[in-house]
Amino acid sequence: MAEAARHLDVPASTLRNWARGYEWSSHGRTVHGDPILTTVEAKQRSGASIPFVGLAEGLVLAAIRQSGVPPQRIRPALTRLDEEFGIQHALASKKLYTDGAEVLLDISTDLDDPADKQALGDLVVVRNGQRHGDAPVSRNSRES
């Protein structure tokens, strides 16, 4: 874990939170964050626990954070990508982008009809399903 953190240039505690999740309490309020990186159980104490895909996810996550996307927007976006869009390993997907404020999904590859592609645009804000810079859309809707 520490070696992976060095490669990704993030604090080991940050990588640990990404890989194992976290829970902390303050003033009677508990905050919980699920793991967001792919990990494997190390066969030995000194063995690797972050596979290559986990390193790729960590690299993208570090870049998204460095671009300015608030952390409270990242986890919900990843959850939505997995649960509603069925995209596992979203951080390693070629469909994921950021504008420095939001996590964006390129939906153009899911559309067959050129008119749909033009109407919906290419990028959707994952957090709220809104077309980047325009009105809300849903993955299964068609606008005319």
Per-residue pLDDT tens digits for 58-98? 999 999 999 999 988 998 899 888 888 888 888 998 888 88
The pLDDT value recorded for residue 52 is: 93
Cα–Cα distance measured from residue 101 to residue 46, given in angstroms and rounded to the nearest whole number? 38
For residues 93 and 87, the answer to whether their CB atoms sit within 8 Å is: yes
Cα–Cα distance measured from residue 74 to residue 36, given in angstroms and rounded to the nearest whole number? 10
Per-residue pLDDT tens digits for 13-69? 999 999 999 998 888 899 888 899 999 987 777 666 899 999 999 999 999 999 999
For residues 124 and 104, the answer to whether their CB atoms sit within 8 Å is: yes
Interacting residues of 133 by C-beta distance below 8 A, sequence separation 6+ = 121
pLDDT bin (cut points 50, 70, 90) of residue 141 is very low
